């Protein structure tokens, strides 16, 4: 993505330049202390809105207010207790208890009555394997127990432990602390929610090659993804700038890291995958070849066409493919997800045509540079498939040689709007990441453009719509590191998350813009309460702090 990003970066810098001077002018005219919020009054939330994000598929609510016992207990039943399934739910329950009862969990008086003191979770499958298309549906019932009611309290029913996780997230959003009575309450009960995701793949790309992100930051991002019901972390680990991942069979690849302290061990990567799985999130790794790979040659210079022409990787040597095979073999031990991203974007073949030995190889094999690009991508696909992976490639591969790609290929759109429509018409599956809306490093894209972007745009046939796996927002790291990455991701990633989870019919009318904004502002405040440094929703540029005083709920 570097070429396009360079263009976008120039536009972005120009806009930033003007915005900076505009801001300076304003602040020179108005003393900062005199910027007063117009909202001195107490802000009342619109109680007619459902403050759940993403919005469930179907739900009904009532008029009761229930109190929730700080000593809430879990009753786990069904077939889901086998092979670690109960551990997934039990650990999630404990995490959510800490979130729900942040205020005064030990303040309950002895003998005090609570309407809700137990959460019953029923899971029907004992299979806790996490793969693409795992059943994340759930039903959630919240009722007041009384003498006429057999069912009381909270029950979550799901076919898999991952559906149960999504139900627990929804429950946690229903629970609100009332400062007046110092008790956690569930308002508008009874609730009956039947919910399932619109798309199987709901992703966030995280780039750790342009700036190294510490393990703790990656875990915080994974945790926050679960709050918005995202379920795939696309880990863009390595790129031309740095190679931070340990590959034991090729130990010198690590020399491509920025420093010896900005690296990921195998154990780090395994820990991230396990941490994500406990939150129902798959990790899809990416090795972007043949372009975007200059950093590989820091440890193995023979991978470069020449010391003065370092990218793409040398197509003429079997050694290049031996290294790729070695990397993928090591990564297969870490990443159980069935999809593996092979990149394939922005390949400038000049090095191949200007380096004598590669140029000779092309002539000997009667190949043009474009033929060699195709040859490289297909060979990398063969390697990935030999390791039992389904290859994912950026759209340039489809744009250049669609009939040659392995039929199992998942096409990843990023450049232009109609690629997914063309890909599914050709029988390929597709992931939507249109850069005009879902590239989070494009700071001038407002939340509503993120929200109304549509993965199925232009695709009328039901059978073709089914080939759209879903979509992904992309957090490219050129201008994001540990200091600002989470503010850049949130809350705009949540706008895409609702598009990917919730029914289009209930969330896509332009009339919903104002109500969606209120709900998104509420969710942004929920994130900040949970320790996620999410930026204000309506900033002219993403990740900027507020310009003056005001409520979190009206920024």
Q: How many H-runs (helices) and E-runs (strands) does the chain carry? A: 18, 16
Reduced to 3 states (helix: H, G, I; strand: E, B; else coil), residue 205 is strand
d(CA 235, CA 225): 13
Residues 6 or more apart in contact with residue 536 via CB below 8 angstroms? 524, 544, 545, 546, 555
With CA atoms as reference, report the closest residue to 116 among 63, 72, 156: 72
Residue tagged 């199925």 (tokens): 456
Tokens of 24: 């300076």
Residue tagged 């009206």 (tokens): 554
DSSP for 433-480 reads: --HHHHBTT-TT--HHHHHH--TTTT---HHHHTTEEEEEEEE--TT-
Which entry of 346, 395, 396, 472 is annotated as an active-site residue?
Answer: 346
d(CA 216, CA 197): 28
DSSP for 368-421 reads: -HHHHHHHHHHHHHHHHHHTT-EEEEEHHHHHH-TTTS-TTPEEE--S-TTHHH
Annotated catalytic, 346? yes
Distance, first Cα to last Cα, the chain: 32
Please report, for residues 13, 227, 313, 535, the alpha-carbon distance to residue 316 in angstroms, rounded to integers and kept in the order given.
39, 47, 9, 48
With CA atoms as reference, report the closest residue to 456 among 404, 511, 492, 505: 505
158: region left, alpha or beta (phi > 0 left; psi from -120 to 50 alpha): beta
The neighbour count for residue 99, using CB atoms within 10 Å, is 17
Residues with catalytic roles: 346
């Amino acid at each position: 993505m570097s070429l396009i990003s360079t263009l976008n970066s120039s536009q972005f810098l120009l806009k930033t330049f003007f915005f900076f001077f505009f801001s300076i002018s304003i602040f020179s005219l108005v003393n900062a202390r005199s910027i007063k919020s117009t909202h001195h009054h107490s802000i009342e939330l619109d109680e007619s809105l459902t403050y759940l994000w993403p919005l469930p598929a179907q739900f009904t609510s009532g008029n009761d207010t229930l109190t929730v016992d700080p000593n809430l207990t879990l009753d786990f039943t069904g077939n889901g207790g086998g092979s670690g399934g109960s551990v997934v739910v039990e650990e999630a329950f404990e995490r959510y208890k800490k979130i729900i009862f942040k205020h005064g969990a030990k303040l309950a008086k002895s003998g005090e009555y609570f309407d809700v003191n137990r959460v019953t979770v029923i899971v029907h499958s004992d299979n806790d394997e996490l793969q693409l298309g795992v059943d994340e549906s759930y039903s959630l019932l919240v009722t007041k127990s009384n003498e006429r009611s057999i069912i009381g309290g909270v029950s979550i029913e799901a076919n898999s432990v991952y559906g149960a996780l999504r139900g627990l997230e929804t429950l946690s959003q229903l629970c609100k602390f009332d400062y007046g009575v110092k008790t956690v309450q569930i308002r508008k009960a009874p609730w009956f929610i039947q919910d399932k995701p619109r798309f199987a793949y709901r992703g966030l790309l995280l780039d750790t090659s342009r700036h190294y992100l510490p393990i703790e930051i990656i875990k915080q991002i994974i945790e926050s993804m679960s709050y918005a019901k995202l379920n795939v972390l696309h880990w863009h680990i390595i790129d031309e700038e740095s190679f931070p991942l340990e590959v034991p069979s090729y130990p010198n690849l690590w020399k491509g890291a920025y420093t010896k302290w900005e690296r990921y061990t195998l154990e780090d990567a395994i820990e991230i995958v396990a941490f994500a799985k406990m939150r129902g999130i798959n990790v899809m790794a990416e090795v972007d070849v043949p372009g975007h790979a200059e950093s590989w040659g820091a440890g193995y210079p023979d991978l470069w066409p020449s010391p003065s022409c370092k990218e793409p990787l040398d197509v003429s040597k079997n050694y290049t493919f031996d290294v790729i095979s070695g990397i993928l073999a090591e990564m297969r031990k870490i990443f159980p997800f069935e999809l593996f991203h092979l990149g394939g974007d922005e390949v400038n073949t000049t090095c191949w045509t200007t380096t004598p030995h590669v140029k000779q190889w092309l002539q000997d094999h009667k190949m043009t540079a474009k033929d060699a690009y195709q040859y490289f991508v297909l060979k990398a696909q063969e390697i990935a498939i030999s390791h039992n992976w389904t290859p994912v490639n950026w759209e340039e591969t489809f744009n250049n040689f669609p009939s040659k790609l392995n039929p199992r290929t998942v096409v990843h759109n990023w450049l232009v709007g109609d690629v997914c429509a063309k890909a599914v018409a050709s029988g390929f599956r597709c992931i939507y990441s249109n850069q005009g809306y879902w590239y989070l490093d494009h700071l001038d894209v407002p939340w509503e453009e993120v929200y109304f972007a549509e993965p199925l745009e232009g695709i009328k046939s039901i059978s073709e719509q089914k080939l759209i796996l879903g979509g992904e927002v992309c957090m490219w790291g050129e201008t994001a590191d540990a200091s600002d990455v989470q503010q850049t991701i949130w809350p705009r990633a949540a706008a895409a998350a609702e598009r990917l989870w919730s029914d289009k019919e209930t969330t896509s009318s332009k009339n919903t813009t104002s109500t969606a904004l209120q709900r998104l502002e509420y969710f942004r405040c929920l994130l900040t309460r949970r320790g996620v440094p999410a930026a204000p929703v309506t900033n002219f540029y993403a990740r900027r702090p507020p310009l003056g005083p005001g409520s979190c709920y009206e920024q």
